[in-house]
């Protein structure tokens, strides 16, 4: 069992930056990879990036250039730094953890709203 808690969202102006954080607890040794997704109203939840326990990172097209994912294994946490925020970045951002058995765990999400 894995529990995930996100934080760091909020209201920012266009061009601003945010750093989102997610902390995992529970059966953390079972986690193979962690990632960040986002979902805007009326849209599918989309992958931004994920990172394995060994540090291998994959960015989706939506996550390139302005997004940086990092993981602190000692703290059981994953972060997402976003720069040059745009109104179209407005969404609920979710962290995800995938176990070595292929099970997915989700946080409750943190709202990011970008004003123009």
Instruction: Give the residue from 106, 94, 87 showing the smallest Cα distance to 1.
Output: 106
pLDDT at position 62 is: 82
How is residue 54 annotated by DSSP? T
Distance between CA atoms of 83 and 67, rounded to whole angstroms? 7
Residue 75: predicted pLDDT:
80
- Which runs of E-coded beta strand occur in the chain? 2-7, 10-13, 18-26, 31-39, 46-52, 57-59, 67-72, 77-82, 91-99, 104-106, 110-115
Phi, psi of 73 (to 5 degrees): -65, -35
Q: 35: helix, coil or strand?
A: strand
* Among 3-12, 27-36, 74-83, the range of highest mean pLDDT: 3-12
pLDDT at residue 29, rounded to an integer:
86
pLDDT value of position 74: 80
pLDDT digits (tens, 9 = 90+) for 92-101: 999 999 999 9
Please give the pLDDT value at position 20: 98
Q: What is the pLDDT of residues 21-76, one digit of tens each?
A: 999 999 988 899 999 999 999 999 999 999 998 899 999 998 789 999 999 878 88
CA–CA dist 25, 89 (Å, integer)? 28
């Amino acid at each position: 069992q894995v529990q995930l808690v996100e934080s760091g969202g909020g209201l920012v102006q266009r061009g601003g930056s945010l750093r989102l954080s997610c902390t995992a607890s529970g059966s953390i040794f079972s986690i193979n990879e962690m990632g960040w997704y986002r979902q805007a109203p009326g849209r599918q939840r989309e992958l931004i990036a994920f990172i394995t326990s060994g540090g291998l990172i994959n960015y989706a097209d939506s996550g390139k250039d302005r997004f940086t994912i990092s993981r602190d294994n000692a703290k059981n946490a994953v972060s997402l730094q976003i720069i040059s925020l745009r109104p179209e970045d407005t969404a609920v951002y979710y962290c995800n953890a995938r176990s070595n058995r292929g099970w997915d765990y989700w946080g409750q999400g943190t709202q990011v709203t970008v004003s123009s």
